Structure 1
Amino acid sequence: MPTFRRSVATGLATLMLTALGTASAAASEPGAGEYTDPEFGADCTFHRFGEGETPPLDLIGTEPLCVEYAKRDITVSNGGAARFVLAEPARFAVALPACQYWQKDHWSVQTRPGDPAVVGWDGSYWFDKSSGTAALRATRITIAGQPADASDAAEVLRPHDPQLADALERAAGGVTAQLPVSLPCFGI
């Protein structure tokens, strides 16, 4: 796997797993399975953002904060990867202060538009600082544009990036974590 694709793929895995750690650096060890949508999900109004679109900072303070990002144009040839990277600081800026946060996103990394995806998945990541819970799951995993289950995708990726392989395999089964309750969020 070329260096650029490996770097992007590793970054994606890191972002995916960071979803569990954003609520607290002292999170307990994540566990597999038992993924469910968050209890606050019925109260969500999703804010949807297109490719490389930066969320407005006025979303800070929205509770619960529920967002959906299109990330299907993480492409080398047309600047999609650069747009993705440039939008990330604002995405984190609106997510970190939230007490209840749910993000859905749709990932695809390819060399050029129209090429089969090197890797792709749909993600669901959430945390609830008021209850001390968090979870993530990856679904609709593809490798080279073909549907793949997590173990097959992990085996394809493992020689190139063992961390990404492990992260994708764990996320596909669902990962949950217990976090310390945040006092400012208590009672939300």
Structure 2
Amino acid sequence: MALPRPRPRPRHRSRTRARLRNAALGLALGAVVAAVVPGSSASAAQSSASSETSGTAAASSTVGPFSEPAFTSECVWHHFGEGEKPPLWMWVYDPLCVEYDKRDITIDNGGALRFLLAEPSRFAIAGLSCRYYQRDHWSVQKSSGDVPYVTWDGQYWWDKGARRAGLRVTNFRINGTSAGIGDAVTALRPHFPELAGALEQFGEESGESGVSVTLPFSLPCSLAG
């Protein structure tokens, strides 16, 4: 006959709250990081994104708020309309900075099909780039004029030589309802102000979420300088 297990001793309430706060923060950051770099690990959350570095200075794995890449001032932006494919030779640009309209991902008018046909070329030039910055504008709906299933404006960049990447999503809505870290901050602030304060650097406005992460080492991009 198994002996009854002794009840665990209750822990101090403030200690429990601290652990819950840290766990919630880790889960929120992990979800965003997974969207940027699947499989990456976040070992520390930074309160500032000023640690944009290159080479061995970026060797430690870090997570921080979204910030613009150091090469933003070098960008020459190339704009592509709905379903428009970029030429494959564009991967030679360094940095490569592109903007895509993806607002007509519509099921019943062929917009969704045109979107799918254009994506392979877009992924191809992105994957070959050492310094890449993309902005895009999404809207997915069944018919023109319907409330979209999902909408957002995105910013995504990486600098493989510096081993840094960033993602920021704004105006994110599902069936017209705003969703993002900024919305979580607003909901949490009256009851959990410390947690809200920790999260707001990753999103302040409704529908906003942003993060920057460390990338794995890339030998070709490091040699390219």
Give the TM-score normalised by structure 2.
0.61
Amino acid at match of 1:75: T
Give the alignment of 1:85-164 within 5 angstroms. Answer: 85-145=116-176, 148-150=178-180
Paired with 2:64 and 2:182, the residues of 1 have a C-alpha distance of: 18
Q: Which residue of 2 aligns with 1:20?
A: 37
1:98 Cα deviation after fit: 0.4
1:185 Cα deviation after fit: 1.6
Conserved 8 A contact 2:64-2:213: no
Q: Which residue of 2 aligns with 1:8?
A: none
Conserved 8 A contact 1:28-1:179: no
CA RMSD of aligned residues (A): 2.8
Conserved 8 A contact 2:80-2:99: yes
Q: Which residue of 2 aligns with 1:55?
A: 86
Amino acid at match of 1:127: W
Q: Which residue of 1 aligns with 2:76?
A: 45
For 1:114, what is the secondary structure of its paired residue?
coil
Residues 62 and 151 (structure 1 numbering): CA distance in 2 closer, same or farther, change over 3 Å? closer
Amino acid at match of 1:45: V
Per-residue deviation, residues 36-80 of structure 1 (Å, max 9, x unmatched): 011111100111000011111110211000000000001100011
Amino acid at match of 2:155: S
1:184 Cα deviation after fit: 1.9
1:28 Cα deviation after fit: 3.9
Q: Which residue of 2 aligns with 1:5?
A: none
1:149 Cα deviation after fit: 3.7
Give the percent of matched residue pairs that are identical in Structure 1 and Structure 2: 48
More RCO (CA 8 Å, sep 6+): 1
1:116 Cα deviation after fit: 1.7
1:120 Cα deviation after fit: 0.2
Unaligned 5+ segments in structure 1 are 1-15, 155-168
1:132 Cα deviation after fit: 0.2
Paired with 2:149 and 2:119, the residues of 1 have a C-alpha distance of: 21
1:180 Cα deviation after fit: 2.3
* Greater Cα shift, 91-100 or 111-120: 111-120
Amino acid at match of 1:80: G
Conserved 8 A contact 2:109-2:143: yes
Conserved 8 A contact 2:182-2:209: no
For 2:162, what is the secondary structure of its paired residue?
coil
Conserved 8 A contact 1:133-1:176: yes
Amino acid at match of 1:178: T
Amino acid at match of 1:128: D
Residues 72 and 183 (structure 1 numbering): CA distance in 2 closer, same or farther, change over 3 Å? same
1:106 Cα deviation after fit: 0.3
Conserved 8 A contact 2:96-2:131: yes
Give the TM-score normalised by structure 1.
0.72
